[in-house]
Structures are given as structure tokens and as C-alpha cells.
Amino acid sequence: MKNEDFNCPVPFNDSDCVLMAHGGGGRMTHRLISDIFYPAFRNPLLEQDHDGCVFPVQEGRMAYSTDSFVVDPIFFPGGDIGDLAVNGTVNDLACCGARPLYLTAGFILEEGLPLSDLQRIVRSMRKAADKAGVQIVAGDTKVVERGKCDKLFINTSGIGVVPEGIRIAPDRVRPGDVVICSGPIGAHGITILSARESLGFETNLKSDTVSLNNMLSQLLKNIEEVHVLRDPTRGGVSGTLNEIAKAARVEIVLDEASLPIPDAVKGASEILGLDPLYIANEGLVLVILPETRSQEALAVMKSFPEGKNATIIGRITGEDNAIVKMKTPYGNYRIVDMLSGEQLPRIC
Amino acid sequence: MKYVDEYRNNEQVQALVRAIRKATTQTWHIMEICGGQTHAIARYRLEEMLPEQVRLLHGPGCPVCVTPVTLIDQALELAKRPDVILASFGDMMRVPGTREDLLQVKAHGADVRMLYSPLDAVRLAETNPGKEVVFFAIGFETTAPVHMMALKEAQRKKLSNFSLLTSLFTVPPAIDAILSDPESKVDGFLTAGHVCAITGNSAYHQLAEKYKTPMVVTGFEPVDLLLGIYRCLLQLENGSYFVENAYRRAVPEEGNPAARALMDETLEPCDQEWRGIGIIPGSGLQLKKTYAIYSSREKFPFLPRETEISSECIAGNIMRGVSQPSDCPFFGKACSPERPMGAPMVSSEGVCAAYYKYS
């Protein structure tokens, strides 16, 4: 390990990997915090050096969400478990209509994890947090024996503020609404799969992991009538839309020809027997709103890099029949059901 | 996507549908043998596009579905041994044995690996010399050569800790059994293109002649399937019966000689039980005696040999083309992909699962 890899004043001259003692609460724990976590996450709220973080609250409504990340491998084209963990919770808050403010981060580290990997991951978390405009204000670290977890698991929780007038909820979905998809479907899941050594195929795909809050906050500023925002992570587009259909008791009809599925995702799915609609995405959002406002919404989304390929993929066609259907290229319809069992393990 | 989009093209699909409508004058029952074809038919809703007189019956060609419970139990038994790594294709993981499935024994500590290729299992054996790596080798004539390639690779590497738990089926004896059944309604067959790509068409010429039944070698995309159905209908309407290749881009008349030679060297026919149907004489493939050292059953002779199955499931009738999934009182109620009662609900290529998923 080269000293210049780190911006901390004292390099890890005693160990280059995580030891059980790093989780013991003693000197080693403090070294880990002061050498790795603090330099990466540095902000005044974190530096209160307290058991938790104290901050002023605003009037109105807040959103609060949590998510855990166990992706394998921890580094993959387009991202790593760190930016995934920040973007995941930021996006969950943004999909509540909230402006994300603060995150906490909990780390479960496996004994033997190279400290350089941990360093790389926390820096990538900081970068993702800066891009999303959030601060990581509290954290926790535990170390488990080798073999008791796989390299590292991260939990992030986050708090955000919901602006006045915004109400995002599945029960607001009405016939006449359209479903906008912000970009290409399936990139994250297929990237993770192809990054696994055992699969032996390569694609030029990258994970789509990205924070969506800047785009969504602009969208809500322009269009208060947005009814639902959802990021189709595990379970994919199909799982997410089925949840919405059931919660709102509406029929959703997708148009197969309009689905933005990259050729590499299609090809890999054909080979592996997967359906892109069930594959996890990490930088995608489904926006449901009245058709009358859809062109305006598309214009806002397309002005952000993460929404430049936004397109309408379906509409809400009826009430009381809580299903998702797809119009095939031949003009007939098939059911798009929820996934039975798991399609792929540990994708996020 | 090249080589796929052309065969999903809407204009071609509509043109074939029109041609089928025009050619059909009476009721015909056509069976596609392969689960992959069943899946595509359900996914693209092709049956709805056909005239009412053209009835599709769905054959037993899903190896996951027809692998007997006894074999699943053998795999489970092996997986539970601390000295064994049990590897198989993903589809096998959820197939219920008598009491449990591979995912359940994995959750209880068994070393079960999901692989995409049997060759990965050879690598696994190489890197785990202290363990016996058992590959649960299921399949029809399409997959059998790949399993045999893995076996030859293990032989080349002189690995003594690699074996195959085989569950291999052949299509022509199954077609023979279906057509010789007095209850059979099948007027014409779509044979599985990828099977013929290996075996060639010779066995099908005999069957077409013996049962005076058209056999059309058919692919897996909507245009392929409709073309197969159309060519089959033309034969039926004309009263002719012969083997016709409607999947020329993949299937040469003589098949794949290299793959066949490998199979001839390593495998021999055997009587084989099909889950839900029973024993069909000569419809299986087993390792030849000279390759017995790669047979998990030879290495672990204590494995369970028989399993009592009591089920009200009508899978056998469905896979023989006598009944449809909708005839089953349990379909979509007591029996679903989460809780399959029988073989065709188990794998995504099983006929009941395909119907459940898309309609």
C-alpha cells in the first residue's frame, strides 16, 4: 500500500487490513474512525463527536428511510457498494417527494478486508453524498470474524424534508395517468452479473447507480401533480409497477415496443433466461402523473443527465382491476406478474 | 438485437397469421414438444392469434419438469453430505423433492452452487480437491453433449472428485409414446429445433412414417413458431406427413456429428421415468460402464432408489396433450410457482408455469 493513496497524516503502519480490534471500541477503533471515516465524511454535524448528531428541524413534514447493501462484488463497472449505499437511500427519500438532508451509515466489516478497499468505498460515498447535496452525519462500525460476512455490508438511513403541497402516494394514481421511465432498464443487474467471475461473459454496460434527487426536486417544483415516484430496484420495473397497481387498485398497461432496454441487457437476458423487467436498477425512477403534464415532465427530466433518455412506457387504463399488462408488438396483451422467488442473488 | 429482432418482426408475424387463417379448414391439434417453445407461445400470446380450429397442445419437453422425484431426492441426499458440493442449473434449485428442495437444504448448510455451465463444475472440482463435486446433469439431447464435454474435461484433468448425477431424456421415444397412446389427440408435431440441431432428423422420419403424422422442425421465436405451425397445417390440410425443416438456419439434416459422436462414446439409451408420465422405454441416456467412475450413482450406491408419489396433479395428462392447464382444479389456486404441486408448474418452461405467468 502506498502512503500517497491516503490523505490521512498517519498511514496504517500496523495493519493493512481490518482486524477484530478495529471493532473493539479501543484505540484501533478510534484510529479507524479518525484515519478513514472522518477524513472522508468530514462535516460540522459529524464532528460534534457525540453518540449521535443533533440538528435543528424545520416545520412541515419529514421523510425517513433506510436500506442495507450487500452487493457482490463490492466494486463493479459504474460504481461500488459505497455510492450505491448513498444513492439508494437518497433515492428512496427523493421518491417520497423529499429533499434529502442527512444520512447515517452503519458498516459491518469482515475481518481481513483491505483498508485500501474501505478507504476507496468511503471516498466514493462522500463523492456521491456531495453530488446529492446530503451530509453523512453519524455512523457505526462493527467487525465480524472472517467468513461471518462477505467483505462489508453497509446500512444507510436518511432524513429529508417534504416541501409544502407535495403528496406522493400510490393511492393518488388515476386512470389517465402515464408512466414515465427515466432511462434504460436493467443495466445495474446485468452489470453485477457480468462482473461475477463465474459467469464468463463481458458487456460494455455500467451500473446506472446515481442520485435522482436533484432531477426529482426540479420536477416537483414545476409539477405538483406528480402522483407517484418509485425507483425500481429489486424486483425491477415489473415488481414496482405491480406494487403500485395493487396499492392503487388500478390497471397499468405497458407498451413493449416503447421499453428502453439496451441491446446488451436484452442479449444477456436472452442468454441467461432472465426478463429485463425483473432486473434491478439503481438509478432509474418511474414517474406517474396525469398525461396532460407528461410532456412538461419529460422536458424537465431530459434536462438532467440522469433523465436524458426519459420516455413514456405505459398508462393507467382502468380501476378495480389491479394488474399490470403489456401490449406485445403484435397488438395482444400479456400479464406482467410479480417475480416468483428470486431471480438473482445479492444485486444491491 | 441482431438474429432475434428479425424473428420477432410484427409484419412477418401478421403475414404468417393470415396465411394460417387462410390455410385452415378444419380442427387440428398440433403439439410443440419443447418447453422453450411453450414458454415463447405463452409469452407472445400466439395462441390468441391463431384461428380457433388450430389447437396447440404442449408436450413434455422441459427437463426440469420431467426429472423424477427420486432423482431430486438423490440430489438432496448428496447435497446434505459434508464431503459434497452439489452444483446444478438455477432452474433445479426450487424443484420440490419428496420433502424439500435444494434451496432449503442450502439454507440448512448444504453446499449447493448454481452454475450456468457444467464446465464450471469441473473448475470447482479442481479448486476443491477435498470435496466431491456432483453436477446434477439434467437435459435433453441439446444439453447432454455439454455435460459430456465436462466429463471429458474432468477425464483430461484426471480429476477423481467429479461426477454427474444424470437425468437425461431423449425426444423421439417420448413422441412415440404420445402418439401410440389411444387417447392421443395430436395430429402434427413441432419438433424442438435445438434438439434436432444435435441429433439431426433421422429418427423423426421413422416416426412421421409410422404414425402418418407431420413433423416440422421448429425454432423458438414468434416467426419461427408460426412458420412451423403453418408448414404443419399445410401438411395436415394436404393429407401429407413428412419431416420438414422450418428452422434451417440452425438445423442441418444430419445434426451435429461431433456432438453425436461424443454422446455415442459416453452414453447409452436406458428406460427412463418422466415425472408425471411414468417410464418410457428407451427414452433416457445413462453413462456407459466405461465412464462409471463419473457416475454419482455408482460412487454413492446407497442413494434412494424409489419414492412414493401421491398427487392429484394431472401433469401427466397435460404433458401427454390429453388435458390443458385450465382443466386442472388446482391451477392458480392450490398450485402456483411458489407452491408447485406438479412438474409443469415448477420450471418457468413448464406449461402450467408459462400459462400462470403470462395469462
Q: What is the pLDDT of residues B83-126, one digit of tens each?
A: 999 999 888 888 888 888 899 999 999 999 988 889 999 999 99
The pTM is what? 0.87
Q: CB contact, 8 Å: B11 with chain A?
A: no
Tell me the three state secondary structure of residue B267.
Answer: strand
The number of C-beta contacts closer than 8 angstroms across A and B is: 51
Residue B339: closest C-alpha in chain A: A340
For A263-266, which contacts have Cβ atoms below 8 Å and span 24 or more sequence positions? A263/B1, A264/A190, A264/A203, A264/A204, A264/A205, A265/A184, A265/A185, A265/A186, A265/A187, A265/A190, A265/A205, A266/B1, A266/B4
- Across A21-25, average pLDDT: 90
* A2 — pLDDT class (breaks 50, 70, 90): very low
Give the domains, in start order, of chain B with CATH numbers.
Answer: 1-303 (3.40.50.11740), 315-358 (no CATH)
Dist CA B160 CA B167 (whole Å): 21
Query: pLDDT by residue (tens digit) across B30-80?
Result: 999 999 999 999 999 999 999 999 999 999 988 988 998 899 999 999 999
- Show which residues on chain A lie within 8 Å of chain B, measured between beta carbons: 198-200, 263, 266-267, 270, 272-273, 328-330, 332-335, 337, 340-341
Dist CA A7 CA A290 (whole Å): 50
DSSP result, A293-348: GHHHHHHHHHTSGGGTT-EEEEEEEEES---EEEE-TTS-EEE-PPPSS-SSS---
For residues B286 and B278, is the Cβ–Cβ distance under 8 A? no
What is the β-pairing status of strands A311-319 and A75-76?
unpaired
> Radius of gyration of chain A from Cα atoms?
21
The pLDDT of residue A3: 44
Start-to-end Cα distance in chain B: 26
Task: Please report, for residues B33, B48, B118, B189, the alpha-carbon distance to residue A230 in angstroms, rounded to integers and kept in the order given.
Answer: 41, 33, 39, 46
Tell me the three state secondary structure of residue B312.
Answer: coil
Paired residues of A104 in beta bridges: A138, A157
Dist CA A236 CA A187 (whole Å): 11
A333 chain-B contacts, CB cut-off 8 A? 45
For residues B75 and B92, is the Cβ–Cβ distance under 8 A? yes
What is the β-pairing status of strands A286-290 and A228-230?
antiparallel
- Put simply, the answer to whether B357 touches A337 (Cβ < 8 Å) is yes
Tell me the three state secondary structure of residue B163.
Answer: strand
Query: pLDDT by residue (tens digit) across A188-245?
Result: 999 998 888 666 677 889 999 999 999 999 999 999 999 999 999 989 999 999 999 9
Give the domains, in start order, of chain A with CATH numbers.
Answer: 14-162 (3.30.1330.10), 170-335 (3.90.650.10)
Detail the DSSP E strand segments found in B8-100: 28-34, 54-61, 84-88
Dist CA A320 CA A310 (whole Å): 28
Please state whether A186 falls in left (phi above 0), alpha (psi between -120 and 50) or beta: left
Which helix (H) or strand (E) segment holds residue A64: the answer is: strand A61-69
Alpha carbon A200 to its chain's center: 26
Q: What residue type is B38 in one-letter code?
A: T
